Structure 1
Amino acid sequence: MYLPVFSKDLKNYKDKKVCLIGKVIDIQEEKKVIRLKLLDTFGFFDVVLFDVYNIKLFDTLLILGSVSEYNNNFSVIARYLSILNGDDEILWRKFFIKKIKKNKKKNNKENKMEEKDIVENNNLEEKDIKKEIYEEELPEEVKLRKQILEFIRDNDKGDGVSLKDIKDFFDISEEKLSNIIMDLLSSGEIYESSPEKYKVI
């Protein structure tokens, strides 16, 4: 599960999977790595990419990845990313803040329960508490988006890949596929070469 966090909290999530939203303020391209500096509500954070994306300055990105530390600097090694535009950005930010609030409430409840258990069970052995792992839709959506982009790239024989071929291969609802295709079009990662045929830029 990718935990939604802000840049100020990265040091608390070393080697954990996190989700962040930020605006690109610097891009540095090296041989096989792209380093981004993003700005969120609480400051800056660095992102390392190993895949090539069509990212421009001031794009807003949704990043899923794991936190790593080098020379006491924390950065996110991106596994998935999505470029957010207009209404998408507002929706994702609302979703993001809602998840952070939910996690804080959950952590507060757990802390209160732990304090209560300590008071009640001073002389008893501590019991193991199993936590349920909730599957989030977010990673699946981003993963599916990336798979569709790769499918278009890999199956383009020159004139693009048809919407029907994509739908037949992924076996997902037409509405879901349409939303992902519109997102890829609006983020500039693909274009419509002819009616309902798509090519990667």
Structure 2
Amino acid sequence: MQIIKSIQNRIYEIRGERAMLDFDLAVLYEVETRVLNQAVKRNIKRFPDDFMFQLTRHEFEGIMTQIENLNLGMSSQFVMTYPTKRPNSALPYAFTEQGVAMLSGILKSDKAINMNIAIMRAFVDVRKILLKQSNINEQLTEINERIGEHDVQLNELYDAMENLIDEKIAQIKWKDRERIGFKIKE
């Protein structure tokens, strides 16, 4: 379970997709990033743009900031090591869930196969969490709509009560008014 949590911490939201970076995958597969990328380039037809894409400098800097913030909040035994300096030409590649699945076809070691299974499970767990969150958001929206309806109904009740009170006050004022005209003695 600890490995799944570690993998989940390495899944990022990039360009609206959940993806993992090449250097994270290399650490998990216990290969050099260079070796991983070479294997991908030898099989580039397996990796269309929706399976793998290269980050821009801006995207990479944003993710590195997230990683540094995450590492500050973790205990020392869980801190992951990330490359802090990369040459300008070596921006990392991001692999979507389908891209990671495709990696299993080009990396043949037992470690890579077992890690790929764990990564797929982590993606599934992340999807489940997001579905639960979506369901909670729908429930909150429904509650807000009900509260809005109740507010309208309560306002109508308050208006009706005010109207009744106003009528009572008007009746009392009518009875207590000073009468004009002839007064008959009884």
TM-score normalised by the shorter chain: which range applies? under 0.3
Structure with bigger gyration radius = 2
Greater helix share, 1 or 2? 2
Which of the pair has the greater relative contact order for Cα pairs under 8 Å at 6+ separation?
2
Greater strand share, 1 or 2? 1
TM-score, reference length from structure 2:
0.27
TM-score, reference length from structure 1:
0.26
